[in-house]
Amino acid sequence: MGDLPQTILVQPSQGLRGTLLPPSSKYHTLRYILSAFLAEGASVVHYPALSDDTTVLLQACRALGARITEQLQPDGRVVLQIQGTGGVLHAPANGELSVGNAGAVARLLLGLCALVPETITLTTPYADSLGRRPNGDLLSALTQLGVTVESATSEGTLPVKLHGGARLHGGPVTISGRKSSQYLSALLFLGPLLPEGLEIEVVDDLTSASFVDLTIAILATAGITVQTLEQHRRYRIPGGQHYRAGVYTIPGDYPSTAALLGALAIAGGEITINNLAADDPDGEAVLTAFSEMGLEITRREQTITARRVGPLHGIQLDGNRVIDSVPVIVAAACFARTPSRIFNVASLHLKESDRIQDLADELNQLGCQVTPLPDAIEIQPVAPGQIQGGVAVEAHADHRLIQALALAGLGSVRPVTIHHAQHIAKSYPHFFADLASLGAETLGVGE
């Protein structure tokens, strides 16, 4: 984040045009890197997401025993060569492993670090962001498997100390999925390496369940068998399996694409976005949401072209399927002529920021009418010109809020200043440069 300005000034803009290659998918990147990390032998990962989360995970994998080299391609993209561990992990010399501000990385590694024979402590320098996010349900599951755990709080917040190794065993385990699907994904990565395997039961609702489906699909590409006894409820993982080395190519990222579509919805124009997998159900849900708002979107293989064809319409949206895209959808809905309601999003309270309350507070400073609810966000239309802008807003160290506030700035009457905008590097370091290439006016104004 050191090369990115800490403060961004977003000018009102109209008529975005151009063609972009979005960032690679963070979800695919993290899971393919972990599969390669756990494999016996060398794997290749083409075009991983260039983000803080990727950097944190690669540093952690190296600290736990993997050998990783990065090759920069002429087009600026990266190819990773990963010599895996075969599931044999060891703690760093100081016994600590930093997971930065990367929630998914933290949860997935909490599961895998149960394999480490030494005591290991997972830490974060972001006490007010990742440091407040709960991991208690995952720690409870690890305790059922023989792991000794210590946390800073009863909610399982970081730092978390684990002692598994010889104490760790497989067998039946229950897990709550109400707060995060990442807990279940962590067990799915761990289970194949246990001699007894795992039989997992989700005891309540599973939020963002499609991420679990993605985990299982990527595990299959690495030669891992997961038996689905009841989808999103019960799984059996045979023990003693081995991760297979492979060659993986990362597709484009739909939440990043959602931010670009949100910008188009507010500012108008026409843009083309490449490298978007056509068989991604979550991605199609993003495109459907923006189509219902008033964008005309056409697809040709892995390329979409989108343009705004008239005024924006409010929508009624189950946000659980597009959970990471909700903030930018909310920002776009602020400029619609009819009300919107985005529901089934309680888990947004527990992200890098409170993406319901904090998002509403900041957007309302600009003149929007956003109502935060325990499980939903409601947006009322305002008259043209009422979203005045002309103020400074706080990003709460959250890349998704930065995107949403930037989009609102494009449609405000006066410029909007975003503080702590360097946290955009978590998922989309080139976001403001890409907006500028489409014709938006953004300016870094501080270090």
CATH of the domain at 35: 3.65.10.10
Final residue in a domain of this structure, among 249, 275, 292: 249
- Tell me, yes or no, whether 2 lies in a domain: no
- Based on the domain organization, do 14 and 105 belong to the same domain? no
> Is 441 within a domain?
yes
- Last-in-domain residue among 224, 249, 274: 249
Percent helix, strand, coil in the chain, to 5, is: 35, 25, 35
Active site residue: 324, 358, 398, 434, which one?
Answer: 324
| 324 assigned to active site | yes
75: domain range?
A: 26-249
**Residues 227 and 79 occupy one common structural domain:** yes
User: Is 340 contained in some domain?
Assistant: yes
What SS3 class is residue 422? helix
Burial class (CB in 10 A: 0-12, 13-18, 19+), 137: buried
Entry pTM? 0.90
Number of domains in the chain: 2
| Residues 187 and 150 grouped into a single domain | yes
* Domain end residue (candidates: 207, 223, 249): 249
Q: For residue 383, is it within any domain?
A: yes
Q: Residue 1 domain-assigned? A: no
User: Do 218 and 328 belong together in one domain?
Assistant: no
Do 172 and 59 lie in a common domain?
A: yes
Looking at the fold, whether 228 and 277 belong to one and the same domain comes out as no
Looking at the domain assignment, is residue 318 inside a domain?
yes
Centre a 10 Å sphere on the Cβ of residue 74 and count the other Cβ atoms it contains.
5
CA distances from 75 to 21, 71, 334 (A): 11, 11, 37
Q: Are 129 and 256 in a shared domain?
A: no
Are 327 and 400 part of one and the same domain? yes
51 and 39 inside one domain: yes
Q: Is 423 part of any domain?
A: yes
Per-residue pLDDT of the chain (447 residues; tens, 9 = 90+): 447 889 999 999 999 999 999 999 999 999 999 999 999 999 999 999 999 999 999 999 999 999 999 999 898 889 999 999 999 999 999 999 999 999 999 999 999 999 999 999 999 999 988 999 999 999 999 999 999 999 989 999 999 999 999 999 999 999 999 999 999 999 999 999 999 999 999 999 999 999 999 999 999 999 999 999 999 999 999 999 999 999 999 999 999 999 999 999 999 999 999 999 998 988 999 999 999 999 999 999 999 999 999 999 999 999 998 999 999 999 999 999 999 999 999 999 999 999 999 999 999 999 999 999 999 999 999 998 999 999 999 999 999 999 999 999 999 999 999 999 999 999 999 999 999 999 999 988 754
Torsion angles phi and psi, residue 8, rounded to 5 = -120, 135
Structure tokens at 395: 């990003």
In this structure, what is the dihedral angle of CA atoms 304, 45, 57, 200, given to the nearest 10 degrees?
A: 80
Does residue 424 share a domain with residue 404?
yes
